[in-house]
């Protein structure tokens, strides 16, 4: 069972603000996804490769599947034929593998670079130094990957009730987005800023997000957290 009224209110608000909603359906049954699909939702986010592969095979082909989890290089091949956008790319090595699998499938795969913005050490993501390396010093290595398109950045704020801390982290990610927005590299077209989840998406939008990833608000609480 999805929270239909909440979804309707959220999608109306986001549409007015020009923000894309990725409905995060991890651990949720296919019937719930279908229910939301029937209301017009097309962008869905998943964290686990096997779960995504299973759902993709059985649900409407019109769905845009976003991979938002931590992707291991050896699993890229399973989603390369259909994935719409990979949000959590945090190494050049992973970009190389995505490029390779995209080429095998004769397509271009769009990706977001994950930036480490939270206080927790455990969260994934590149730091500003690594981004500078990628876009400047190693620009030729990046531009050689002709089957990927870097379309922006993704970040996860600290898990805290301190709203000012969260806001500060989103502000920082927005500044990264602005810094690289105009890079002149053939396979980079920086336009997407994926930040904000159920608990902090309104702050994220105030700070410039144009893509939010919302799960529990729409689908209800998950039985296990990831």
Query: Minimal distance in Å, beta carbon 49 to ligand PLP?
Result: 14
Nearest to ligand PLP of 136, 162 (CB atom): 162
Region from 2-10, 90-98, 177-185, 214-222 binding ligand PLP, contact rule CB under 6 A = 214-222
Strand partners, 86: 67, 111
Tell which residue, 33, 147, 46, 27, has the closest CA to residue 87.
46
x/- binding map, residues 74-93, to ligand PLP, per CB under 6 A? --------------------
The answer to whether the Cα torsion of 132, 135, 139, 144 is positive or negative is positive
Region from 36-44, 78-86, 91-99, 208-216 binding ligand PLP, contact rule CB under 6 A = 208-216
Backbone angles phi, psi at 193, to 5 degrees: -125, 100
Tell whether residue 68 is a contact of ligand PLP (CB under 6 A). Answer: yes
x/- binding map, residues 160-199, to ligand PLP, per CB under 6 A? -------------------------------------xxx
Distance CA 220, CA 226 (A): 15
x/- binding map, residues 86-125, to ligand PLP, per CB under 6 A? ----------------------------------------
CA dihedral 211, 152, 111, 47 (to 10 degrees): -40
Instruction: Count Cβ atoms within 10 A of the Cβ of residue 191 and give its class: 0-12 exposed, 13-18 middle, 19 or more buried.
Output: exposed
Tell whether residue 28 is a contact of ligand PLP (CB under 6 A). Answer: no
Helix axes 30-38, 49-58, angle to 10 degrees: 50
Region from 49-57, 134-142, 176-184, 211-219 binding ligand PLP, contact rule CB under 6 A = 211-219
Member of 20, 25, 47, 209 binding ligand PLP (CB under 6 A): 47
Residue with nearest beta carbon to ligand PLP? 215
R_g of the chain, CA atoms, integer Å: 17
């Amino acid at each position: 069972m999805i929270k239909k009224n909440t979804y309707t209110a959220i999608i109306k608000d986001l549409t007015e603000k020009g923000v894309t909603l990725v409905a995060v359906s991890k651990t949720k049954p296919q019937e719930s996804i279908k229910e939301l699909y029937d209301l017009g939702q097309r962008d869905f986010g998943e964290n686990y490769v096997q779960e995504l592969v299973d759902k993709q095979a059985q649900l409407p082909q019109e769905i845009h599947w976003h991979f938002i989890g931590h992707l291991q290089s050896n699993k890229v091949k399973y989603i390369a034929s259909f994935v719409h956008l990979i949000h959590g790319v945090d190494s050049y090595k992973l970009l190389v593998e995505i490029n390779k699998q995209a080429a095998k499938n004769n397509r271009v795969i769009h990706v977001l670079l994950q930036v480490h913005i939270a206080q927790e050490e455990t969260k994934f993501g590149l730091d500003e130094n690594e981004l500078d390396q990628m876009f400047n010093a190693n620009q030729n290595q990046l531009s050689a990957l002709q089957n990927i398109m870097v379309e922006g950045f993704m970040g996860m704020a600290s898990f805290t009730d301190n709203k000012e801390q969260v806001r500060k982290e989103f502000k920082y990610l927005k500044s990264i987005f602005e810094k690289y927005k105009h890079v002149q590299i053939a396979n980079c077209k920086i336009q997407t800023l994926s930040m904000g989840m159920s608990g902090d998406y309104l702050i994220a939008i105030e700070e410039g997000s144009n893509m939010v990833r919302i799960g529990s608000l729409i689908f209800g609480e998950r039985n296990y957290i990831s």
